[in-house]
Amino acid sequence: MNKKNGAVLVLSGPSGAGKSSLINKVFDDLGECYFSISTTTRPMRSGEVDGIHYYFVSEAEFKKDIEENYFLEYAVVHGNYYGTSLKPVRDALSAGKLVLFDIDVQGNTAINNRLGDITTSVFVTTPTLSELKRRLQGRSTDSQEVIHNRLQMAKREVQRISEYDYLVINDNLDEASEILKLIAKAARMKIPSNDINEFVQKWEDI
C-alpha cells in the first residue's frame, strides 16, 4: 500500500503574495515534481521555449483537446486560447510525481472537481491587505489602476480561503517555505479513494 502515488499540490493567492518566490525556493527540495504550465495558441515570443514557458499549439489542436475534454479550464484572451491541459498532468501523475499548480481560485475549483481525491490546496497570502499593497507598489511594474484592480481582486480571493486545505502567511519567505515543504510531504501521502477501497478489500483476508 505504501507505494509511490502521484499527487497534486495547488497554490493560489493574490498577485504579489509571493507564490512564485515560494515555489522557486522549495522546488528542488520536493523530489520528483512537475510544474504545470499553460497551453496556448498565441505565437511564441523571443526567448520563450516550448514546454518551459508554455505549450504552444495550433488553434485546431487546442479546439480538438477542448472537444475531448482534456482541459481543466481554458479561456480566450485577446483572441488567443489559454488553458491547463490534463495530458502532461496525467503523465506526471502516472510517473508518481507531485504536480504543482500556481492557479487562481476558479482553477482550484476545477482541479478539485476532476482530481479532488489526490489534491491538496494551499492559499498563500500576505499578513494584511496593506502589506500586499506595499509589495505591489514596490515592484514598480504596474500602474496605480492595475494595483487597485489587483487589490480588489485580492479582497474577493481572500473570502474563499475556506475552500483550501491550508493557509500559508508569507510574511517570512524562509519560514513559509519550510511550512510549504511539510505540506508537500503530506500531499504525497494522500491516498486516492480507489486505492483505499482496494486496501480495505485485501485487508479483510479472514
pLDDT at 3: 56
**Per-residue model confidence as pLDDT tens digits over 87-145:** 889 999 999 999 999 888 988 998 999 898 999 999 999 999 999 999 999 987 788 99
pLDDT at 140: 79
pLDDT at 79: 87
Domains of the chain: 1-32+97-206 (3.40.50.300), 37-95 (3.30.63.10)
pLDDT at 192: 84
CA-closest candidate to residue 35, choices 43, 46, 24, 45: 24
Take residue 107 and report the three cell numbers written for it.
482553477
- Residue in the structure block whose three cell numbers are 523530489: 31
pLDDT at 73: 84
pLDDT at 96: 92
Residue 194: exposure state from Cβ atoms within 10 A (0-12, 13-18, ≥19): exposed
pLDDT at 76: 87
Strands (E), the chain: 7-12, 33-35, 39-40, 55-56, 71-77, 80-85, 98-102, 119-125, 166-169
Q: Is the pTM of this model over 0.75?
A: yes
- Rounded average pLDDT per 10-residue block, the chain, 206 residues: 77 92 92 92 90 92 94 86 90 93 89 92 97 91 88 95 97 96 94 86 84
pLDDT at 125: 97
